[in-house]
Amino acid sequence: MLNTPVSKLNFAQLGLTDTLLRAVGDEGYTMPTPIQEKAIPPALKGRDVFGCAQTGTGKTAAFVLPILQHLDQKPLLGNRRRIRALIVTPTRELAAQIGESAATYGAYLSLTHTVIYGGVGQGKQENALRRGVDVLVACPGRLLDLMNQKIIDLSGIEYFVLDEADRMLDMGFIHDVRKIIAKLPKQRQTYFFSATVPDSIKTLANSLLTDPIRVSVTPKATTAETVEQTLYMVGRTRKMDLLRHLFQNPEMERTLIFTRTKHGADRVAKRLKKDKVTAEAIHGNKSQNARTRALNAFKAGEARVLVASDIAARGIDIDSITHVINFELPHEPETYVHRIGRTGRAGHRGKAISFCDRDEQSRLRDIQKLIKRSIPLVSDHPYEGSHLTEAPKPPPQPRGPRPSRTNAQNSQSRGPRSPRANSQSSQRRGNQQRAR
C-alpha cells in the first residue's frame, strides 16, 4: 500500500477505531497515503466514493478499513450470517490480495471473509459461503456462476466495491458487472475505484453512485519519480538478444517483464530458461495453482524473472521489484504508466526499460505524449538501430507481361535488328492477331 507520498495526518486522525488502528500498527503503518486520507473519512460517514487511483497507492485499505469498521459497529441481528459486503475485482491475484488485506486489518474483529474466483474447484468456496461470511471478495465469472446456482444471495449487501473498473471493462466483464449490479439492493454504500476515467467509466460510475465524494491522488499520466526510465530502439527479431545481454547485469535481481500476449509471455520465459535465467510466466491461460506457484517463486526470490501479460499483472503487489521491462509496448499508453509503477515502490528506486521496434514507434509517441516527457534513449547498445538498418524484403512480384518499353529503349538495349528478324517479328504479330 506504499507508492505515493504519505499524508500529513496519521491513521488515528482519520476516525478509525482503536481495534483497527492496532491491526494497522501491527503492519508498521503509521501514516496514511493520500488516497486513504481523502477516501476514508467520507467513507466512514457513509458517503459513496469515486476514487481515481493507480495500483500501489494504498486504495485497498481505503475501502477495506471503512467497510470493516461499519460492519463491526453494526452487528448483524439474528443467528444466520449473510453476505453484507461485496468487493468485485477483475483478476484472481487482485482478489487474493484484497482477501489478505481483509484478514490483516480485521485480525482483531469477529468478522469473516472469503475469496472466490474461477480456475479452481468451487467446493471449498461453496463450503465457506454456506457457513456464512460477512465480506465476499469475488471475480465476476465465478460470482455469477454461484449466483445462478442459488449458492450466493446478494439481497443483504450493504457495502459494494467495484475495484479496477477500467480493467474490468477492458477484459469484457461489463455485461457480467451489470448483471451483478442488478441483483444488489438499491440502498447501499458504493465504492468505485479506477486507474483511468474514460467516458465509459464515467457512465458506469454515474449509474452506480449517489452523490459521491470524488477523490484523486495522481493524474493518470503521472509516472513516479522513483522510477528511472530508459528506451532501447531495437529490431523486433533482436529483442531476445538484447534481453539476454541485459541479464548479464547482476543488478537485475527481481525483474518483471511485460508482453502483450499470453503466448509471448510463455515464449520469453522459455527462452530465458534456456539461458540459465530462472523465469516463470503468468497469464490468464495458466491454472490458478500454476499462477500462485509462479508468483510465490518470484516473491521468494526463487525466480529472478516473472513474465506477465497485463491482465494477470494487475494483482502483483511486490515492493522489491528492481526492474520492469516492456518487451513489447502496450497498445494503450495508460498501460505503460501502470506497468512501470510496479517498481520504485515502498521508498525504493527502480528502473523501467522499454524495447521499441519499427512497428511500435506510433505507440511510443502516444506514451511520450501522455506522460509529457521523452523517455531517455540508450544509443550505445550492441543492437542499436537494427530496426532502422533492416530493410524490409520486397514482396514477391507476380509473373506477368514485362513492362512496355519505348522504341528508343528497345533499340538501345537490343541493338539494331536485322531485316529478317523484323520480318519474322511482324509475321508472329500477325499470327497472334489472327489467333485472337
pLDDT of residue 387: 43
**Position 282: which residue type?**
I
The mean per-residue pLDDT over the stretch 252-274 comes to 93
pLDDT of residue 213: 96
Helix (H, G, I), strand (E, B) or coil at 303: coil
Q: Which one is predicted more confidently, 290 or 185?
A: 185
**Position 84: which residue type?**
R
The mean per-residue pLDDT over the stretch 305-315 comes to 77
Q: Which residues contact 25 (CB under 8 A, 6 or more apart)?
A: 11
Residue 4 has pLDDT above 70, yes or no: no
What is the pLDDT confidence band of residue 140, given thresholds at 50, 70 and 90? Answer: very high
pLDDT of residue 171: 77
pLDDT of residue 22: 95
Lowest average pLDDT, out of 4-13, 362-371, 413-422, goes to 413-422
- For 11-216, CATH number out of 3.40.50.300, 3.40.640.10, 3.40.50.1100, 3.40.50.1820 equals 3.40.50.300
How far apart CA 355 and CA 329 sit, in angstroms, is 7
Residue 236 has pLDDT above 80, yes or no: yes
Question: Torsion angle, CA of 273/287/306/308, rounded to 10 degrees?
Answer: 110
- Please tell me the number of Cα atoms within 13 Å of 201 on its side-chain side: 19
pLDDT of residue 8: 65
Residues of the chain with CATH 3.40.50.300: 11-216, 227-389
What is the pLDDT confidence band of residue 288, given thresholds at 50, 70 and 90? Answer: confident
**CB contact at 8 A, 198 and 318:** no
pLDDT of residue 286: 80
From the list 171, 106, 162, 170, the residue with the least C-alpha distance to 137 is: 162
**CB contact at 8 A, 310 and 290:** no
- How many helices (H) and strands (E) the chain has is answered by 18, 13
The mean per-residue pLDDT over the stretch 237-250 comes to 94
Using alpha carbons only, give the angle 74, 79, 82 rounded to the nearest 5 degrees: 65
Helix (H, G, I), strand (E, B) or coil at 341: coil
> Residue 308: in which H helix or E strand, if any?
strand 305-308
Helix (H, G, I), strand (E, B) or coil at 96: helix
pLDDT of residue 284: 72
Residue 408 has pLDDT above 80, yes or no: no
The mean per-residue pLDDT over the stretch 396-404 comes to 48
Helix (H, G, I), strand (E, B) or coil at 206: helix
What is the pLDDT confidence band of residue 327, given thresholds at 50, 70 and 90? Answer: very high
pLDDT of residue 75: 78
Q: How many CB atoms lie within 10 A of CB 142?
A: 20
pLDDT of residue 119: 82
Residue 84 has pLDDT above 60, yes or no: yes
From the list 302, 309, 311, 350, the residue with the least C-alpha distance to 326 is: 309
Residue 421 has pLDDT above 50, yes or no: no
How does pLDDT run across 219-234, given as a tens digit for each residue?
Answer: 556 677 889 999 999 9
DSSP string, 385-411: THHHH-PPPPPPPPP-PPPP--HHHHH
How far apart CA 79 and CA 385 sit, in angstroms, is 70
How far apart CA 201 and CA 364 sit, in angstroms, is 25
How does pLDDT run across 345-397, given as a tens digit for each residue?
Answer: 767 889 999 999 999 999 999 999 989 999 999 987 777 654 443 333 434 44
How far apart CA 266 and CA 294 sit, in angstroms, is 12
**Position 212: which residue type?**
P
Write down the mean pLDDT value for the chain: 84
How far apart CA 127 and CA 107 sit, in angstroms, is 22
Please, which residues bridge with residue 86 across strands? 136, 160
How far apart CA 400 and CA 415 sit, in angstroms, is 25
Q: Which one is predicted more confidently, 406 or 112?
A: 112
% of the chain beyond a pLDDT of 70: 82
How far apart CA 264 and CA 266 sit, in angstroms, is 5
What is the pLDDT confidence band of residue 404, given thresholds at 50, 70 and 90? Answer: very low
- For 227-389, CATH number out of 1.10.287.1400, 3.20.20.10, 3.40.50.300, 3.40.50.1820 equals 3.40.50.300
% of the chain beyond a pLDDT of 90: 56
How far apart CA 109 and CA 82 sit, in angstroms, is 17
How does pLDDT run across 28-77, given as a tens digit for each residue?
Answer: 888 898 999 999 999 999 999 999 987 667 899 999 999 999 999 987 76
In sign, the C-alpha dihedral spanning 34, 35, 38, 43 is: negative
**CA separation, residue 126 to residues 79, 80, 133, 141, 157 (Å):** 19, 16, 11, 15, 18
pLDDT of residue 314: 60
What is the pLDDT confidence band of residue 342, given thresholds at 50, 70 and 90? Answer: confident
CB-count burial class (<10 Å; 0-12, 13-18, 19+) for 357:
buried
pLDDT of residue 319: 73
pLDDT of residue 285: 78
How does pLDDT run across 112-139, given as a tens digit for each residue?
Answer: 999 999 988 899 999 999 999 999 999 9
Q: How many CB atoms lie within 10 A of CB 212?
A: 18
Which grid cell sits at 405? 518499353
Which grid cell sits at 340? 512501470
What is the pLDDT confidence band of residue 262, given thresholds at 50, 70 and 90? Answer: confident
